[in-house]
Structure 1
């Protein structure tokens, strides 16, 4: 096909050929920028997960060192907050991917991942809300006791 177009392209004025090449370069630059942005958003999500694990781990160590092993709900909620935020960033990265996906198969995979992450975030939020309502506000949570 390219061989058939070569005589036509060579017959075009130089400016018309430059516009075509300029368009290709611009499109490539936009795709590269979106891929870098997607990578950055995924990295932010991964850092949030790491911070959540470190934070929950620290709270767990403090609670265990003080012998407070009866209730770890507050620690679970602290980790769940980080995970919910990280899932939002990961979903944002998936949405960026759909802007440059080349095929319906790729879009389908990204759609499935987005649905799974959204469902995980929804059920995680429900669990956090439920645990928060079950926690008695008069007694300090494990995280609060571990901080003092």
Structure 2
């Protein structure tokens, strides 16, 4: 499961870089058509990033609960994300 968390974080980061790339490309010579396309792409990527972040948080919570059941050390980042400290 930690592999899924790492992959999810890299996917979210990749979406952010792609969006920044599109914004910079449009900033050079914007037309109304390009601005509309950018707005649509930004909305789609923002929605994807939101749901991906929710999925990562859920996966992190499940991993933390599984570790706690086994008596293993809990990942501090996961505990902090839930608002608890270890």
Q: TM-score higher than 0.5 here?
A: yes
- Choose which of 34, 43, 46 in structure 2 pairs with 1:115: 43
SS in structure 1 of the partner of residue 30 of structure 2: coil
**What's the offset of the Cα at 1:98?**
2.7
- Say what the alpha-carbon RMSD is for the aligned residues: 1.6
Q: How many residues align?
A: 68
Query: Which structure 1 residue ranges, 5 or more long, are not aligned?
Result: 1-72, 141-148
Quote the residue 2:34 is aligned against: 106
Distance in 2 separating the partners of 1:94 and 1:131: 30
Give me the TM-score of the superposition, normalised by structure 2.
0.68
Distance in 2 separating the partners of 1:82 and 1:102: 29
Q: Map residues 18-97 of structure 1 onto 2, 5 A cutoff.
A: 73-97=1-25
Larger radius of gyration: 1
Give me the TM-score of the superposition, normalised by structure 1.
0.42
Distance in 1 separating the partners of 2:44 and 2:25: 16
